[in-house]
Amino acid sequence: MKITMKDIAKQANVSIATVSLVLNHKPGRVSDEMREKILRLAKEMNYVPNQMAKQLVTQKSNAIGIIVPDLENYFFASLVSRLQNEMRKRNIFVLIVTSGDEIEEDIKGIDLLISRGVDLLILTVSNHAHNNTQRYLQKLQHLPVPAIMVDRIIEEYQGPKIQFNDFDGMIKLTNYVISQNHKKIAFINGDRKMARTAGRTQGFLSAMKDANLNVSQDDIYDGNYSYESGYDFFDEIYDQNRYTSIIAANDMMAYGLMKRAFERELHIPEDISICGYDNVKFSEMLNPTLTTVNQNLDDLIKEILILIEKLLKDRHYTESIVLDTELMVRNSVKKI
């Protein structure tokens, strides 16, 4: 088990702050005798300083800031929770701001976190920021700290960014639906200006084209990644009596589709097949369980931590990382 400052503080019967002062060689009201005791305990207990935490402590505030659209979305909630847990292990504080998917709140959030002295920002761009990318990018140009874009990104951003391969993920999902003999498939996308929407939409179109299946703009419905947009589109799609399957570009919209289907006393997948994308936690708790695409959060967290390490050493470091996805076949698609 890795020894932390908390363990040393417990053995020395002092606060973690006192141990931090001694181990980071900072001035403070600590007696010579106690300094020697803490240093001796650190050596005896084989304490190894965490480089990420040490750099943050010695340079600035021992804090990072995260901006996400909301915490009602299971993916963002899980991302924030997991990052908090990882940062806690490293004695790093996490300040969280939600933007409500509004660019004004994105910008206010950035200003707020900078004013609190965070050493690094992790940004998941709001939908509306994609309607004014230049303004958002100009805001990031003159930041005093590095910023990592995660999941929802702006392609033109020159700084570090991490995203999943949405194009390939949607090809996998669409190919699976086609393999179950579905030929008339409706697709609900998200905001068309978002990079993730373009990838998922193009993946759907590419798979349909490769299977020699006709698809027109009439088969593509413009959602916004919300539960409500899935719910609201269900009647319009189903009542045309032409589709055997609906692919939603995320699980929240798929959940909305399923909810409306259940209200109409329809059966999934017997009456209509539905699948989503993201593999949020509730997708395997639905009845039937939802066929979807998994974005491995472990992989994402791992890459974020590696980038943080690199950026704390060199704030101008930049890298664009694309992660693989995995098809999760469950019970919401019928073979016909």
Tell me the pLDDT tens digit for each residue of 182-232. 999 999 998 777 768 889 999 999 999 999 999 999 999 999 888 999 999
Residue 127 pLDDT more than 90? no
pLDDT of amino acid 9: 92
Determine the average pLDDT of the residues in 255-274.
98
In the chain, the domains with their CATH numbers are 5-49 (1.10.260.40), 57-159 (3.40.50.2300), 166-294 (3.40.50.2300)
More confident residue, 28 or 43: 43
User: Listing from the earlier edge strand, what are the strands of the sheet with 147-150?
Assistant: 93-98, 63-68, 121-123, 147-150, 161-164, 320-323
Confidence of residue 328 (pLDDT cuts 50, 70, 90): very high
- Helix, strand, coil share (%) of the chain residues, nearest 5: 50, 15, 40
Residue 164 pLDDT more than 60? yes
Cα gap 8→84, rounded to integer Å = 23
Cα gap 209→37, rounded to integer Å = 71
- pLDDT (tens digit, 9 = 90+) per residue, 55-103? 565 556 789 999 999 998 888 999 999 999 999 988 899 999 999 988 8
Alpha-carbon distances, residue 277 vs 88, 112, 194, 264 (angstroms): 30, 33, 15, 24
Cα gap 224→252, rounded to integer Å = 10
Residue 51 pLDDT more than 70? no
- Decide if 283 contacts 292 (C-beta within 8 A): yes
pLDDT of amino acid 58: 56
Query: From the centroid of its chain, how far is CA 53?
Result: 23
pLDDT of amino acid 49: 72
Cα gap 93→75, rounded to integer Å = 21
More confident residue, 19 or 187: 187
Q: What are the tokens at 75?
A: 């993916």
Q: Indicate if the alpha-carbon torsion angle 195, 277, 88, 299 is positive or negative.
A: negative
Q: Which amino acid is at 254?
A: A
Residue 175 pLDDT more than 70? yes
pLDDT of amino acid 219: 97
Of 292, 230, 280, nearest to 258 (Cα)?
230
Cα gap 197→216, rounded to integer Å = 17
**H-assigned helices in 122-185:** 133-141, 166-179
pLDDT of amino acid 128: 74
- Provide, rounded to the nearest whole percent, the portion of the chain with pLDDT above 70: 95
